[in-house]
A and B are shown apart, each in its own frame.
Chain A
């Protein structure tokens, strides 16, 4: 069965530090890959997506992600975290159906 794994449940970083959130997927083919962010009490906002082509994709708010087929990974990165980045981050996989399969999320806490 298809699955998405986010190994880190909770990450704490200092403001200005770099960030990497991990995501691994299990699927027979290359799926469509997404990162969403959820602030407290808010909906899910799309940060970036990967469909094909360049394996390094740029998103909003200074985020980027790199697709590595050999590792079945799609890790999210940001060179310098801001306090406003504190939120829950979800990696999601889409296949040839309507549904997105989400990982369990990583909660990011940012210290000043």
Chain B
């Protein structure tokens, strides 16, 4: 079965650079979620989109922005990167909107290293 696809899998950037992470949800899933997992930490919710509109927002820095496109894929844009942004970024998708009862299926993540 098709899963959530994230690209790239690994990304190395310098401080103050920008990065774009991409997420392709499971076919027919209409909701995407972004999480950040720092080293040795639990995943922290950043933001979610349902039908191309922002659905919920967590602890996402102002330097980050995200959107969901007409084909339901999503991109997380990160600017003015800081060392503390080094983390594993997960995308998840679900069917029929957000809300906790919709099971979130996670991708393998993008590991971002900021040097």
Q: Which residues of A contact B (CB under 8 A)?
A: 31-32, 34, 36, 41-46, 49, 51, 90, 93-105
Give the chain A neighbours of B104 by CB distance below 8 A.
Answer: 46, 100
Q: State the CA gap A31–B60 with chains docked (Å).
A: 24
Give the chain A neighbours of B108 by CB distance below 8 A.
Answer: 41-43
Residue on B nearest A97 in the bound complex, by CB = B56
A44 lies within 8 A of B99 (CB)? no
Known: A42-B108, A43-B108, A43-B109. A98 touches B43 (CB 8 A): no
B55 lies within 8 A of A104 (CB)? no
Known: A44-B106, A98-B56, A99-B58. A51 touches B101 (CB 8 A): yes
Q: Which residues of B contact A (CB under 8 A)?
A: 4, 31, 33, 35, 41-45, 48, 50, 55-56, 58, 90, 92, 98-101, 103-109
Q: State the CA gap A110–B55 with chains docked (Å).
A: 40
Q: State the CA gap A13–B103 with chains docked (Å).
A: 30
Known: A31-B100, A43-B90, A96-B100. A104 touches B106 (CB 8 A): no
A32 lies within 8 A of B101 (CB)? yes
A-B contact pairs, 26 of them (CB 8 A): A34-B103, A42-B108, A43-B4, A43-B108, A44-B90, A44-B106, A45-B106, A46-B103, A46-B104, A90-B42, A94-B99, A94-B100, A95-B100, A97-B56, A97-B100, A98-B31, A98-B33, A98-B48, A98-B50, A98-B55, A98-B100, A99-B33, A99-B56, A100-B43, A101-B45, A102-B43
Contact of A103 among B4, B42, B50 (CB under 8 A): B42
Q: State the CA gap A39–B23 with chains docked (Å).
A: 20
Q: State the CA gap A15–B103 with chains docked (Å).
A: 31
